[in-house]
Amino acid sequence: MSNPVIVVVGAGPGVSGSVARRFAREGYDVGLLGIDQTELDGLAETLRDGGVDVDTAVVDITDVEACTAAIAELGEYFGRIDVLHFNPSAFRQKDPLQLTVRELLEDVALGVGALLTAVQAARPFMGVGGRVTVTGSMAADKPWNEAASLGVQKAGVRNLVHSLDTTLEPDGIRAVSVTVRGTLSREGAFTPDRVAEAIHAAAGQDEADWRTEVPYAG
């Protein structure tokens, strides 16, 4: 029987890399999508050293056709996708009077729209017990006006997760957003590894008590 598989969208250093390593420790093979080949290669090497199979794809996830093709290729390579983790968001330091509509829509295309693309592409490879996990943020509830688009993205992606879960539940697939209620740091409660642990736990929730949003407050 083949190993379970996690595909990490927006892979690189930080939370996404920690999520990949956390699931790899559970015996998951790993697919990585990102924009930096060097970062992907470094993460892939680390994961392979742990004995898991890894495949990577360099892609602009806002390019719907390219992202769809990349995820389909990973699904075909592994033969399955058990967990789809979505991590990216755009940080643009502009308040609402500086931010243009075009910039806002560009950021939402990355932080929200790309999740839609990823799930639609991964769905044919997901079965009962499949999970969609998303790195959320307290910016959804308490946006910083100096980075106005980030709050819109995080509120939007959380909302989309609710709809995805309702749509996928009849097929035995669940979706969850983990709302990180703190600032990522190298030490303390909000290290990438500890956030990844919270994401792993959220994916393993009991279905009878499933929550589509799980707060992580350290």
pLDDT, average across residues 55-67: 97
Return the domain boundaries, the chain.
5-216
Residue 134 has pLDDT above 90, yes or no: yes
Q: How far apart are CA 206 and CA 20, in angstroms?
A: 22
Per-residue pLDDT tens digits for 77-120: 999 999 999 999 999 999 999 999 999 999 999 999 999 999 99
pTM: predicted TM-score of the whole model, two decimal places: 0.96
Residue 218's pLDDT is: 82
Q: How far apart are CA 97 and CA 78, in angstroms?
A: 46
Structure tokens at 164: 């995805």
Taking the CA atoms of residue 17, residue 79, residue 112 and residue 196 in that order, the dihedral angle to the nearest 10 degrees is -30
Distances from the Cα of 37 to the Cα of 41, 49, 59, 88, 125, angstroms? 6, 18, 9, 16, 25
Structure tokens at 31: 């697919």
Architecture of the domain defined by 5-216: 3-Layer(aba) Sandwich (3.40)
Per-residue pLDDT tens digits for 15-59: 999 999 999 999 999 999 999 999 999 999 999 999 999 999 999
